[in-house]
A and B are shown apart, each in its own frame.
Chain A
Amino acid sequence: EDQRLTEETLEGYLLQYGYLQKPLEGADDFRLEDITEALRAFQEASELPVSGQMDDDTRARMKQPRCGLEDPFNQKTLK
């Protein structure tokens, strides 16, 4: 449950701030590679080690207070 909750929080954050984008058609679930790519973009923009994996630093960064607008750091979603 905890693992699932973390995944949902992660996807929610990446989606809310423009690192992930819901596909216009097809299933709602994200492919793992999309999530990994989005997480890498977030880690790079946050000057964290870019692993594509959730770690403590990434989690801590995602908890920091911030602006509600999206980030333009995932080139694919920005396009």
Chain B
Amino acid sequence: YLLLGRWRKKHLTYRILNLPSTLSPSRAQAALRQAFKYWSSVAPLTFREVKAGWADIRLSFHGRQSPYCSNTFDGPGKVLAHADIPELGSVHFDKDEFWTEGTYQGVNLRIIAAHEVGHALGLGHSRYTQALMAPVYAGYQPYFRLHPDDVAGIQALYGKKSPETEDEEEEISTMSPVTTKPSPMPNPCNSELDAMMLGPRGKTYAFKGDYVWTVTDSGPGPLFRVSALWEGLPGNLDAAVYSPRTGWTHFFKGNKVWRYVGFKMSPGFPMKLNRVEPNLDAALYWPVNKKVFLFKGSGYWQWDELASTDFSRYPKPIKALFTGVPDQPSAAMSWQDGQVYFSKGKDYWRLNQQLRVAKGYPRNITHWMHCRPQTADTNSFTGDTTPPTTDTILDTTPSTVDSFLD
């Protein structure tokens, strides 16, 4: 790697001044935002997007002529983009390129943006032809990740990312990975989920094995180890549920339950489950009656977090309350749209306010994940794919156990 310069500060702002015409605005913005996350996930850098006024790093698209840039572009192909080194902050893309996301066609905006942001942060071109900072575009990579030379370069400039440097305001996805040999990673686009939940700050999480990722309208986000976000939490969960009423997030596995507030485990947890059966299938919070529902097999328990619940009449049949839902769901959640979702295998069901499965369900879960490989962008929410980036983070061991739900 070659170092060309450095910012004297580590909390930078950026602004997207305009967007390409070949991607939907939300798609293009997601790609550009992700470009920053590659760097903030391996170095103590934070990037905050501003919508107006001055920004440290300014991203824009221009063609052959630009009143703001002496380096003109040259139409499709050849030069794709260029950027100034610190502390100038200009990043320009050739607007005449066929910018794409999630497909081998055209030029992947996310990868090129990450390359140019690398320049804007002070990195020159890398000698490794497979590195992000290599001068020539190596093409779209579904499971793109930074090359060790890229990581070594940015850490030579800004140091390594350590827990102390985390900033509460930071986006979750900038949490620090340390590269260990990754256990097999699920493919978000065709995995049976262990759990799903609408978590704090309206983020939708999907859990599978040791990993968790967010689901947005532009597809699955980067994969993280569960324990990297919720320290002390094991993988292969049975169920997960966040309650806006209490701010508690509960995770269930076997005969244990973990409670977190935000990403901090509450004292005394994990505890032992003793009044509902172990090895739950799913859990959800239903905002209509502000209760948590726990599911296993063909039965469910309704639990009032803030009162002692009489479970003697539980479990009750799932079908008695949730019409059209299969037994043994693998995951469940209430979502922002007021609907309730259940998943099982590769299918998912949507239920309306009357807890009745809507027409046309079940559907394939890749639809819900907004995955549709190999196609150019369509409108956001009908599904396109942003294959996940893959960061791997250290694991931690579980702690002592007490009893719960008393």
Measured CB to CB, the nearest residue on chain B to A68 is B82
**Residues 213-255 of B at the A interface (beta carbon under 8 Å):** none
Measured CB to CB, the nearest residue on chain A to B2 is A72
- Indicate whether B51 reaches chain A with its CB closer than 8 angstroms: no
> What's the Cα separation between A43 and B125 when bound, in Å?
15
Q: Please tell me if the beta carbons of A69 and B124 are within 8 angstroms of each other in the complex.
A: yes
> What's the Cα separation between A66 and B2 when bound, in Å?
17
Nearest-CB distance from B99 to chain A (Å)? 12
Interface SS of chain A? loop
Q: Please tell me if the beta carbons of B137 and A64 are within 8 angstroms of each other in the complex.
A: yes
- What is the size category of the interface that chain A forms with chain B? 10 to 19
**Residues 58-109 of B at the A interface (beta carbon under 8 Å):** 71, 73, 77-83, 97, 107
Measured CB to CB, the nearest residue on chain B to A13 is B78
**Residues 42-79 of A at the B interface (beta carbon under 8 Å):** 45-47, 61, 63-73
Q: Given A47-B129, A67-B81, A68-B81: A61 and B136 within 8 A (CB)?
A: yes
Contact of A69 among B78, B97, B135 (CB under 8 A): B135
Q: Please tell me if the beta carbons of B83 and A69 are within 8 angstroms of each other in the complex.
A: yes
List residues of chain A with CB within 8 A of the CB of B259.
Answer: none
Which of A67, A70, A73 gathers the greatest number of chain B CB atoms within 10 Å?
A67
Nearest-CB distance from A63 to chain B (Å)? 8
Which of A61, A65, A71, A73 gathers the greatest number of chain B CB atoms within 10 Å?
A65
Nearest-CB distance from A62 to chain B (Å)? 9
Which of B97, B112, B129, B136 gathers the greatest number of chain A CB atoms within 10 Å?
B136
> What's the Cα separation between A64 and B79 when bound, in Å?
9
- Indicate whether B350 reaches chain A with its CB closer than 8 angstroms: no
List residues of chain A with CB within 8 A of the CB of B127.
Answer: 45, 73
> What's the Cα separation between A40 and B167 when bound, in Å?
47
Contact of A65 among B124, B129, B136 (CB under 8 A): B136
List residues of chain A with CB within 8 A of the CB of B125.
Answer: 67, 69-73
Q: Please tell me if the beta carbons of B137 and A65 are within 8 angstroms of each other in the complex.
A: yes
Nearest-CB distance from A57 to chain B (Å)? 13
Q: Please tell me if the beta carbons of B83 and A64 are within 8 angstroms of each other in the complex.
A: no
Q: Please tell me if the beta carbons of B78 and A17 are within 8 angstroms of each other in the complex.
A: no
Measured CB to CB, the nearest residue on chain A to B92 is A68
> What's the Cα separation between A53 and B119 when bound, in Å?
31
- 17 further A-B contacts with Cβ under 8 Å, apart from A67-B137, A68-B82, are A45-B129, A46-B136, A63-B78, A64-B137, A65-B97, A66-B79, A66-B80, A67-B79, A67-B80, A67-B81, A67-B136, A68-B73, A68-B79, A68-B80, A69-B135, A72-B124, A72-B125
Q: Which residues of B contact A (CB under 8 A)?
A: 2, 71, 73, 77-83, 97, 107, 112, 115-116, 119, 124-125, 127, 129, 135-137
A-B contact pairs, 18 of them (CB 8 A): A45-B129, A46-B129, A63-B77, A65-B107, A66-B78, A66-B136, A66-B137, A67-B82, A67-B116, A68-B79, A68-B80, A68-B82, A69-B82, A69-B124, A69-B135, A71-B135, A72-B124, A73-B127
